[in-house]
A and B are shown apart, each in its own frame.
Chain A
């Protein structure tokens, strides 16, 4: 199995470029969905011990909304989207054409479903772009949503099948939605299984 800690600069750059293509499409989709301008930071590749995954986006007990989709087909892995309190609150409000939704207590079935759908659209846009670029067939599972402690959602979302190595590779893109005075941010993580990472690198001839 490929050890993710042994990736070279060229390979990391290439993965960043792959993530750029995915997140560009996802940003466009999010922008169309919300009618807002969306900024995307340059993707960061982080190689973290499985123990630290729960703290990737901040405190492990911060309450966040987390949408997880399994990636199936020619690649295996998952996408994990993390929306902190204010982002989840505003995003659900925009999608349901109402004011900010109190977080987490205002999130009933409808609000949860709106976030799940946003996650679904973002994740599919990202993966469609990857699929075109890599010439692969990529499918996604239905989205799962947890409004919960970040550590609980991120760790469980990442190690659902226990078949990974010591370290996970997380390709993290931060999205920002510009609202009056505050920038609302969210994380889009692509977490390929180690075997699939090799498949990606082979597809771009860098394995």
Chain B
């Protein structure tokens, strides 16, 4: 029984309760991480653009980097009463939108997914499912109430579990 949708902008980190659908639109190489705490009925979603800050540069907003956004998600969930051991995560995005232009180096999308996995692993949070890679964009709709994640792309819509 979702009553409202909270839109997570690129670079943002949001937490919401069971009456909310958290959405984020137009993920290409960006990566979204959704985390659910089923018992308390709370969830959180981020939309990170880059894997981690470049050494020597200013950090920028927390939610810009997967390496920083994931701990921020967990911190916010815990502040809202979540228990770490009950958290479960999904990783979505990390596409390579223009494979012809990337050349031999690893794409930002691939690096974003790896950074998200590493950050979750470091915090001991299991990944339930991933919908990552490929060369197409995705939008995410995370119904916090029942913990379902719907991923929409140009040619399909699916629920990942």
| Interface set of A (CB-CB < 8 Å, partner B) | 49-52, 54, 59-61, 63, 68, 70, 104, 141-142, 144, 146-157, 159-163, 165-166
Can you add 11 more A-B contacts, CB < 8 Å, to A148-B97, A152-B30?
Answer: A50-B64, A144-B101, A149-B153, A151-B25, A152-B27, A152-B97, A152-B138, A156-B98, A156-B109, A159-B50, A160-B29
- B residues 137-161 near A (Cβ < 8 Å) are 137-139, 152-154
| A59 touching B108, Cβ below 8 Å | no
Q: A144-B101, A152-B138, A160-B108 are in contact. Are A166 and B28 (CB under 8 A)?
A: no
Contacts of A156 in B (CB 8 A): 28-30, 95-98, 108-109
- B residues 45-71 near A (Cβ < 8 Å) are 49-51, 54, 57-58, 60-61, 64
- Measured CB to CB, the nearest residue on chain A to B105 is A161
The secondary-structure label for the interface of chain A is mixed
| B136 touching A159, Cβ below 8 Å | no
- CB-defined A-B contacts under 8 Å, sample of 15: A50-B64, A51-B10, A52-B10, A104-B154, A144-B98, A146-B98, A148-B136, A148-B153, A151-B27, A152-B28, A152-B136, A152-B137, A153-B97, A156-B29, A163-B54
- Measured CB to CB, the nearest residue on chain A to B58 is A166
Contacts of A60 in B (CB 8 A): 10, 25-26, 139
B18 at the interface (CB under 8 A from A): no
- Which of B25, B57, B152 has the most CB atoms of chain A within a 10 A radius of its CB? B25
